[in-house]
Structure 1
């Protein structure tokens, strides 16, 4: 196999696409917090295209790892060994895979080794955008727009001379920039959150106000927080995937990524310190991201939650396997057509039924089939973001609540930690409190509806929903998830 680094780059096989620019001339203009697989298959790809355009060489990326863990340290070591290069395999459902080397990340900083150095790096006036993927649950802003500064790890971070959270790092970097007169940067959230720019703004400014009110006032007046909608299915990469991808490419790549061939990015055009020519490489700019993100969150992400929760209980483990189940397909089709689409306003030029059909095609892509347990993880956060508005709309308009009841029953049964056959799995719910877990496991199935995740959903105001929920949850326990779903699909709409 061929080692992947700057020296080997000109000598790679012709079937592997390489950067169409001189990396030696690229300097960072973007810093990205938390360089996960999605960032490397999404924003870094767009930047890779931008860097091939004239006059754009000052928009490279410096990746910044904030979390301290063995896997994050291994990633930092691999980035150093490979000169920040990595291979991306794009997988279409009906065409051969394509492999390309992404060169847009030109520097990587492992924060736990020197957190002050991270802040200093962000204070560099060349950095004009700080983007981030810190996960949906990583912002801690509730549905009332409240950021809890009294959370123990937030309160502790506020006391540190050198903060460690994303909010603290951003604030202290902006303090240095203000004091040095070099101006602000744009904070660009790339997480799957409705109005993610507003949420990022709330989190960062609330942290800043608790630290330094005058600085927060300067930030409020000068820093921009655009809203974005991001989309590309990018599975987790396990050791077996690394071996498989490297065997197919012939590269000795410690950090390969694979993804679907579809990609989309919609951004609110609010950049206080300039931006790359993203619009020339397929990024959509708009004054209102909301319709795009609503469609994506309430159709694609909600469908993923449906498949993840029901699939795990049914004994499936990857998306492409569950997409062979005609009842699961019918569930998604009806959820989209009867529950989600009637409550959405399509963005200009988009037909919702065509978008739904495209989703099913994407989910059937066996080459990038994701782990259902990963999709089901952190459902406590995801259901609030992806399902709540649809559920409230269905119940408020007295539509058939059966699919909402099935989804919520599956979530609560999933929290028990074993599927219909009794096989145990790890429940990964970092935002599930002990009190809520106790309610989910209470012998009285109605107790689960009192969990904080469902606060404000008004579920118990609908007698039809409560009836269907109780029936479905009991059926899952008695007959299993697959039989319960088959009965739901057979029932008349």
Structure 2
């Protein structure tokens, strides 16, 4: 078996996009769509210049530069794996503390889009308010002369383009965030306003920040993924990407300086991104959270193994059908029940070998986005929140740092120490956990949710995960 090479002349490509954050998701998603487009002979002036703003990005730069910026993407279809080399990126800019090379590249007139995958937690959002946080230490440090953070570099480049009378690029988030365009706009304009209100006004008036919904399951790279690459003759690639066959990208068509014709390769351009986004975040990401923590507590390693467990699968089905899906608004030309069926199929794919630990990662950032909104909608409608409260209690129990069998759970959240301290107090007093206003807001004040959470956590400690799931499924 050998990996398929790009079906176009890479020497014909010229840059039109700077992309910040060359992690697995970007290389299995946006870069693949562009690779497909280039193979049709279209959009060759939209190649990617890769970039990073964190010190660890330098290692990715070296790995990709050493292989001519080609990325290995292995699709894990149960009917047979395939591999391809993605050639959409033609250079990776130097990773520098002052981001000088990045700012210079974004200032070039041929760059018409700057895109980002900097993770859901990389947008400096205050969890309590859901808005940009000017008090974040990284923002405070960048505010006097923005250039150190990704958003600071964008501000600096937009400032330079304004001075040179070059039209501004479009800023496109490809991260899994509700209203990711609005969130990105808030970060860029919020940071600019701290030092240059006039520049912030100009950005708000002239720069486009389209919203988009992105979807593809891409496990972390480890020994298994490198071994798979070796099977395709790429044993020397240290950073191969594996992914499921499914992918989806839905974007607002708001690109004043033009865009690649990505509708030719399956991208959906629509003004209804929010509907697609809510469906995906509530059903898929909420579903991931639902199966993550019981699997982690029951010492289950892989997601497909969790889906094969009748208790976890039954728990997911009931929570989704009774407490999540009823509050998801209609989506154009989409059968939401069929969409959930596709999600179950995707979660159950054994070839992906996605881990429960990856799904459990960063709950303090993900729970407010993927679970809490469903709780609020269910409460507002007078519906049950017993299952969603149990999801939250399972997360609390997981953060205690020990599975039901007594095995230790290694830290798995940027705020792990604080979470673990609260989880240990909550064993005796569950309401301590709900005191996290940055996560739950005023939900602790709602007796329906507070009672359901307290009951769930108490029973988890008394009976264990399996018995609690069994009781919930039985009603």
Is contact 1:381-1:453 (8 Å) kept?
A: no
Q: Which residue of 2 aligns with 1:50?
A: 37
- TM-fit CA distance, 1:459: 4.2
Is 1:111 the counterpart of 2:95? The answer is yes
Q: Which residue of 1 aligns with 2:67?
A: 82
Give the Cα–Cα distance (whole angstroms) in 2 for the partners of residues 378 and 98 of structure 1.
31
- TM-fit CA distance, 1:315: 1.1
Question: Which residue among 460, 464, 469 is the counterpart of 1:485?
Answer: 469
- TM-fit CA distance, 1:73: 2.7
Question: Which residue among 419, 427, 437 is the counterpart of 1:452?
Answer: 437
Q: Which residue of 1 aligns with 2:77?
A: 92
Matches within 5 A, 1:9-408: 15-69=2-56, 72-93=57-78, 95-112=79-96, 115-142=99-126, 144=129, 146-160=131-145, 163-408=147-392
Question: Which residue among 405, 411, 424 is the counterpart of 1:441?
Answer: 424
Is contact 1:439-1:451 (8 Å) kept?
A: no
Give the Cα–Cα distance (whole angstroms) in 2 for the partners of residues 120 and 31 of structure 1.
11
Deviations 1:247-298 (A, max 9, x none): 3445532221110000000000111211000111100000121000000000
Q: Label 1:396 to 1:188 Cα distance change in 2 as closer, same or farther (>3 A).
A: same
Give the Cα–Cα distance (whole angstroms) in 1 for the partners of residues 302 and 96 of structure 2.
34
- TM-fit CA distance, 1:111: 1.9
- TM-fit CA distance, 1:208: 0.5
Q: Which residue of 2 aligns with 1:461?
A: 446
- TM-fit CA distance, 1:76: 1.2
Give the Cα–Cα distance (whole angstroms) in 1 for the partners of residues 267 and 472 of structure 2.
40
With structure 1 as the length reference, what TM-score do the two structures score?
0.92
Q: Does the residue aligned with 1:398 lie in a helix, a strand or coil?
A: coil
Give the Cα–Cα distance (whole angstroms) in 2 for the partners of residues 250 and 439 of structure 1.
46
Is 1:409 the counterpart of 2:393? The answer is yes
Is contact 2:218-2:244 (8 Å) kept?
A: yes
Q: Does the residue aligned with 2:115 lie in a helix, a strand or coil?
A: strand
- TM-fit CA distance, 1:145: 5.1
Deviations 1:402-452 (A, max 9, x none): 211211111111111111111112223225784x65443323111111112
Deviations 1:20-70 (A, max 9, x none): 11001101111111110000000000111121234511100011011113x
Is contact 2:304-2:350 (8 Å) kept?
A: yes
Q: Does the residue aligned with 1:62 lie in a helix, a strand or coil?
A: strand
Is contact 2:94-2:101 (8 Å) kept?
A: no
- TM-fit CA distance, 1:166: 1.0
Give the Cα–Cα distance (whole angstroms) in 2 for the partners of residues 202 and 115 of structure 1.
21
State which drifts further: 251-260 or 375-384.
251-260
> Aligned pair count?
472
Give the Cα–Cα distance (whole angstroms) in 1 for the partners of residues 105 and 94 of structure 2.
12
Q: Label 1:155 to 1:250 Cα distance change in 2 as closer, same or farther (>3 A).
A: closer
Is contact 1:449-1:460 (8 Å) kept?
A: no
| Runs of 4+ with >6 A deviation | none
- TM-fit CA distance, 1:121: 1.0
Is contact 1:141-1:202 (8 Å) kept?
A: no
Give the Cα–Cα distance (whole angstroms) in 2 for the partners of residues 76 and 250 of structure 1.
18
Is contact 1:137-1:431 (8 Å) kept?
A: no
Give the Cα–Cα distance (whole angstroms) in 2 for the partners of residues 490 and 272 of structure 1.
54
State which drifts further: 192-201 or 454-463.
454-463
User: Which consecutive unaligned segments of at least 5 residues does structure 1 have?
Assistant: 1-12
State which drifts further: 105-114 or 253-262.
105-114
Is contact 2:401-2:420 (8 Å) kept?
A: no
Is contact 1:33-1:64 (8 Å) kept?
A: yes
Is contact 1:380-1:431 (8 Å) kept?
A: yes
Deviations 1:186-226 (A, max 9, x none): 10001111111001101110001112112111111111000
Is contact 2:58-2:95 (8 Å) kept?
A: no
CA RMSD of aligned residues (A): 1.8
Q: Does the residue aligned with 1:423 lie in a helix, a strand or coil?
A: coil
Give the Cα–Cα distance (whole angstroms) in 2 for the partners of residues 453 and 158 of structure 1.
24
